[in-house]
Structure 1
C-alpha cells in the first residue's frame, strides 16, 4: 500500500492538518512548512487520494457528459469546446457515448449519481419515463446543450432550430428553387428532428409552395443515412432541384451518392446541410449550411453549468438561445 497523509505528517514532523493545508494550496503557509511537507511527499512518493479529498471538499471536480453519438462531427466539435472550458475551470470530464441507447443513458445517469459528479451535461433529448423520473430526483445540477430540455426543470443552451430551418428553406426559395427535398431526423427529437422539419414545412407554406411527400425522407443524421435516403430519392423520375439535409453528415452522404450517380453538384442538383461542422468545409464542393456557433455552444454550456454548481440555485433561468448563421459555399446554386 502507498503512503498515507499520516505518513507524510510523521516524516515531515508536522500535523496532519498542516499537510492538508499544503495539499489544498491554502495561503499564508510558511516557506519552512512548505519545504518540509514537499520533501516528505517526494521521499514517500505520496499521491493524494482523489476520493478522500472529494469527500472532504464535498466536490469531485468531475462533470458527466451524455453524448448521443461521439462519431458525429457536430458532437465531437462541441465536446472539444466543452473539454477545453472544463479544464479552465478545474473540471475533468466523464464522457459517456450512449449510441442512442436509452438503457445506457439510464445506467450512466445512475453512475453519475453514485460518483457524486458536480454537474451533468446532456447532448440529446430522447428520454423515457425511467429517465425522466431519475432526472427529476437528481440534486446534481444538470443542463442540456444543443437540444431543448424535455424537462421544464432543466435549462438548455441551443440555437432556434425551427427558425434556422425556416431561414434555410427561405434562402433556397429566394434562390429560385421550388422542388425542395428534405432529409430529416427522428421526429421524436423535438429540436433537431421536429423543429427543423416544421421550419422547412412552414417556410414552404409561407411561400405557397407544396410540400411534395415524395421529397421528404427521415433518417438518423448520420452519413450512411444520408446515402440511403439520397439513393431512394434518385429513383424518382422527377428529381428535386435541391436537397436540404438536417445535418452536415447526412448532406455529405447525399453528396457522395449524387456524385456516384454522375450528377454534378450544384449544376444538376444543389445540396445544403445543417450544423456548420468541419466536414462541411473540407468536402468538395464545400457545403452551404446552417452554421451553429459550436465553440460558443460548448463554452457557454460549460460555463452555465459551472454557475449552477457554484450558486446551487434551485430556480431555472430561461433557455439561452444563441444565433445561427447561413454560410453560402459551393454546393448550392441560384436558378
Structure 2
C-alpha cells in the first residue's frame, strides 16, 4: 500500500502539519523533530505526492518542453541547455517529441497544459495561428525556443537565421565563388527554411549577381535530402563551384554525393552550411559552417522562462543570440 503523510506522522509521533513543514524545508522545526521525521520517512519509504503538493501551492515546479525531433542532434543539444538551467532553478522537465507535425504539436501543448505545468518551452518550426490560439488559452508563461512568430508577441530566443545564411554565402563569395547552389529547407518553415533562403538571395544580389533559379533545390533539412539534391545538381550538369546547404545534415549529404560521384570537396566543389552539429567536425573534410549556439539557446530560453514564471522583470522578450563562422576544410578559394 502507498505510504501517506499520515503514516509518517504516526511513526514519528508528530502531527501531519509538522511532517509537511519538514518535507517542504520549513526552518521552523526543531532539529531533533526533523531527525525523527526523516528517520520515519526512510524507514517507511515515503515519497511526497507532487500532485497533491502542486494542488495546494498551485505550483508543480514542472516545465513542459515540446521538441520537434529528439533524434536530431540540434534539438538534443538545445534540450541539454534547457535541462541544466531547469535543474539549477529546481524545475523538473516533461519532454515531449512532436515529430515536426503541427497536429501533434497542438495536442502535446494542450496535454502539457492539462498537466498543470508552470511554464512551457516550444521548439518547432513555423508558429501558426493554431499554435497561437493554443498559447493564448494557456494561463502559464510560454517561451519560443529556437524559433519565433511574426508578431513577436510571444517571448523567444533564437539567432538571426537570415544573417547566418547571408554570412555563409558571403564566405563563399569572398573566396571567389559565383556559381553557388542552394540546398534549402521547407519555405513554410519561416524561422529557418524561408529565412535562410532569404539570406542566400540577399548575399547573391548584394554581390551584384543574378539569382539562378536552376541552382535552387528544396529539401527537408535532413541528410537524405542533401544527398538527393546534390545528385540532382551533378546529374543536370549545372556549373556549380560551391554549395550552400541550410543545415549541416544536408551539407554532409551533399559532401557524400559529391564523393560518390568521384569528385572531391573542396577541390572540385566547396560546401558550407549553418548549425555546427557534432558531425560537422567528424565528417571528412571537416565542414565549414556557421555555428548557432544551440546549448545557449536552450539555457537562455529556460532562464527567460524562470523569470516569467515568478513575474520577475525582464529587459527584453525577443532575444537574438550571436552566431559565428567556423572555418574548417570544406571551402576552397578559387584562383
TM-based fold match above 0.5: yes
Whether the 8 Å contact between 2:146 and 2:157 is mirrored in structure 1 is yes
Name the SS of the counterpart of 1:167 in structure 2: helix
Report the alpha carbon displacement of residue 291 of structure 1 after superposing the two structures with TM: 0.5
Task: Tell me which residue corresponds to 2:118.
Answer: 118
Task: Show structure 1 runs of 4+ deviating over 2 A.
Answer: 125-132, 149-153, 315-318
Matches within 5 A, 1:261-276: 261-276=261-276
Matches within 5 A, 1:167-316: 167-311=167-311
When structure 1 is superposed on structure 2, of 29-38 and 14-23 the one drifting more is 29-38
Report the alpha carbon displacement of residue 41 of structure 1 after superposing the two structures with TM: 1.3
Report the alpha carbon displacement of residue 246 of structure 1 after superposing the two structures with TM: 0.5
**Unmatched 5+ residue regions in structure 2?**
none
Whether the 8 Å contact between 2:125 and 2:192 is mirrored in structure 1 is no
CA separation of 1:288 and 1:59: change in aligned 2, threshold 3 A = same
Whether the 8 Å contact between 1:155 and 1:316 is mirrored in structure 2 is no
Report the alpha carbon displacement of residue 29 of structure 1 after superposing the two structures with TM: 2.1
Whether the 8 Å contact between 1:132 and 1:151 is mirrored in structure 2 is no
Q: Distance in 2 between matches of 1:252 and 1:129?
A: 34
Whether the 8 Å contact between 1:83 and 1:93 is mirrored in structure 2 is yes
Report the alpha carbon displacement of residue 284 of structure 1 after superposing the two structures with TM: 0.8
Whether the 8 Å contact between 2:143 and 2:156 is mirrored in structure 1 is yes
* 1:166-220, Cα deviation, whole Å (9 max, x unpaired): 1111111110000001111111111211111111101111111121111101111
Name the SS of the counterpart of 1:168 in structure 2: helix
Q: Distance in 2 between matches of 1:149 and 1:308?
A: 18
Task: Tell me which residue corresponds to 2:331.
Answer: 332
Q: Could you tell me the TM-score, scaled by structure 2's length?
A: 0.95
Q: Distance in 1 between matches of 2:317 and 2:117?
A: 24
Task: Tell me which residue corresponds to 2:104.
Answer: 104
Q: Distance in 1 between matches of 2:128 and 2:269?
A: 40
Name the SS of the counterpart of 2:181 in structure 1: strand
* 1:237-257, Cα deviation, whole Å (9 max, x unpaired): 233101101011111111111
Task: Tell me which residue corresponds to 1:135.
Answer: 135
Q: Could you tell me the TM-score, scaled by structure 1's length?
A: 0.95
* 1:81-135, Cα deviation, whole Å (9 max, x unpaired): 2112211211221111111111111111111111011111111132444332111
Report the alpha carbon displacement of residue 232 of structure 1 after superposing the two structures with TM: 1.1
Report the alpha carbon displacement of residue 28 of structure 1 after superposing the two structures with TM: 3.5
Q: Distance in 2 between matches of 1:318 and 1:20?
A: 37
CA RMSD in angstroms comes to: 1.6
Q: Distance in 1 between matches of 2:175 and 2:225?
A: 27
Whether the 8 Å contact between 2:266 and 2:330 is mirrored in structure 1 is yes
* 1:309-331, Cα deviation, whole Å (9 max, x unpaired): 11177x99441111111111000
Matches within 5 A, 1:30-69: 30-69=30-69
Task: Tell me which residue corresponds to 2:26.
Answer: 26
When structure 1 is superposed on structure 2, of 76-85 and 197-206 the one drifting more is 76-85
Q: Distance in 1 between matches of 2:65 and 2:144?
A: 10
Task: Tell me which residue corresponds to 1:165.
Answer: 165
